[in-house]
Structure 1
Amino acid sequence: MDIKKTVMAVLPEIPELEEVDFSKYSTPYWSVLAEFERSGRRGLVEFQRFVEENGEGTLVGRLLISILQYLLIRYRRYGEYSTVKPAVKIFITLKGWLNENGYEGDWLKILHSFIGYLVDMMPAIAEHEECDVANAYLTLIHSLTIEAEDTFTEEYYAELEEKASSNLRNLREKCGIDGETAKENGKGC
């Protein structure tokens, strides 16, 4: 089975996944993924319907977490920039899916555990992307750090917000983009 083709069948909404090396990706959900790919259906909504028909609705969230972890490991271990934009997109997709399906507590666990990885990716995004794209990604990550800082009491999250805010200000200064960060403007998520 071609894992990249299978992942793309579930997440065609994230075309950047085509650039990711999935040769080391391992998941206990192979059989379900293979069945879904053979079904000819495509997209996350169709995948959710497919697994719900088979009584495994929570598998969607577990699969998204599995892919997110793989992308973060590839970035952290090998410095593969190709994993960065898909990781951010899967993070946001996961936030939406968990909150829409009544797993708000699980979203908070994901935010608590993984927001630091996204903040670490900010300089690479600023370096590799055009100003408008970099600004969009960095603004999004910064807003997530505000959510984390507002939600969790540990000092670590205030430090992450400061780091994200600094990265965003540096990018905007470099690119000549006017605007304050959400926190400076008094607006959070």
Structure 2
Amino acid sequence: MNIKGAIMRVFPEIPEFDEVDFSQYSTPYAAVLIAFFESGKSGLREFEEFVEKNGGTKADVGRFLISIFQYLLIRYRRYGDEKVEVPAFKVFLTLKGWLNENGFENDYTRLLHSFVGYLVDIAEKIAEKSDCELGLAYMKTAYLLTIEAEETFKEEYFSELKKTAQGMVAEIYRKCGINGGLPEKREKGC
């Protein structure tokens, strides 16, 4: 059974999955994943259509996506697996778009609340290993997520997290000799 190949088929835009150890990943969607892999199709939209044609629902797709993200975070937190950093960050951004577009905003809000701190930590680690441009892109994205979290949740933790991320962005600017301001949150619909 080639779960990794099937996951890579769902996420062709995340080639970094090739480095991830999926030997401990367990999912009730293994059969549909393998069938999707064997169909030769590729991409999240195609996977969604495949699941629905085979009796599944958008909720099943959402649960699968969340399970992938949670698995990556477990590998990161419990095993210190650096190979999951980029895929975890990219899957979270995919989740943000997919969940919000498909009516699962509450699931996204819960994920943001629970994991934005880890995403800032992951972005910092990616930035440390990347060139200035790529590192800055990840840190700016993490910073924007902290703004969203601070506006959504009124707990002090999120304000402190935003300040931390802001400092990390400023440090990259300083280290890389970049002049520029902090990114600002775009209004919805723009």
Would you say the 8 A contact 1:149–1:161 is kept in 2?
Answer: yes
Are 1:156 and 2:174 counterparts?
no
After superposition, give the CA deviation of every residue in 1:71-96 in whole Å (9 maximum; x if it has no partner): 11111122222111111111010011
- Taking the aligned partners of 1:165 and 1:172, their CA distance within structure 2 comes to 11
Instruction: Give the Å deviation of 1:137.
Output: 0.6
- Taking the aligned partners of 2:38 and 2:123, their CA distance within structure 1 comes to 37
**Equivalence for 1:97:** 98
- Count of aligned pairs between the two proteins: 185
Residues 115-154 of structure 1: pairs in structure 2 closer than 5 A: 115-154=116-155
Worse overlay, 75-84 or 132-141: 75-84
Letter in 2 for 1:172: Y
| Paired-residue identity, % | 55
Would you say the 8 A contact 2:2–2:34 is kept in 1?
Answer: no
Would you say the 8 A contact 1:145–1:161 is kept in 2?
Answer: yes
- Taking the aligned partners of 1:58 and 1:64, their CA distance within structure 2 comes to 10
Would you say the 8 A contact 1:122–1:164 is kept in 2?
Answer: no
Worse overlay, 56-65 or 136-145: 56-65
- Taking the aligned partners of 1:96 and 1:122, their CA distance within structure 2 comes to 19
**Equivalence for 1:10:** 10
Instruction: Give the Å deviation of 1:188.
Output: 2.1
Instruction: Give the Å deviation of 1:54.
Output: 2.3
Instruction: Give the Å deviation of 1:181.
Output: 1.6
**Equivalence for 2:62:** 61
Instruction: Give the Å deviation of 1:62.
Output: 0.9
Would you say the 8 A contact 2:10–2:43 is kept in 1?
Answer: yes
Are 1:188 and 2:179 counterparts?
no
Letter in 2 for 1:169: A
Would you say the 8 A contact 1:122–1:167 is kept in 2?
Answer: no
**Equivalence for 1:84:** 85
Q: List gaps (5 residues or longer) in structure 2.
A: none
Letter in 1 for 2:70: Q
Instruction: Give the Å deviation of 1:109.
Output: 1.1
Instruction: Give the Å deviation of 1:156.
Output: 1.0
Letter in 2 for 1:188: K
Instruction: Give the Å deviation of 1:163.
Output: 1.1
- Taking the aligned partners of 1:142 and 1:35, their CA distance within structure 2 comes to 38
- Taking the aligned partners of 1:55 and 1:111, their CA distance within structure 2 comes to 30
After superposition, give the CA deviation of every residue in 1:48-89 in whole Å (9 maximum; x if it has no partner): 000111232222211111111111111112222211111111
**Equivalence for 1:49:** 49
- Taking the aligned partners of 2:60 and 2:14, their CA distance within structure 1 comes to 19
SS in 1 for 2:103: coil
What's the TM-score once normalised by structure 2's chain length?
0.93
What's the TM-score once normalised by structure 1's chain length?
0.93
Would you say the 8 A contact 1:98–1:107 is kept in 2?
Answer: yes
Instruction: Give the Å deviation of 1:12.
Output: 1.0
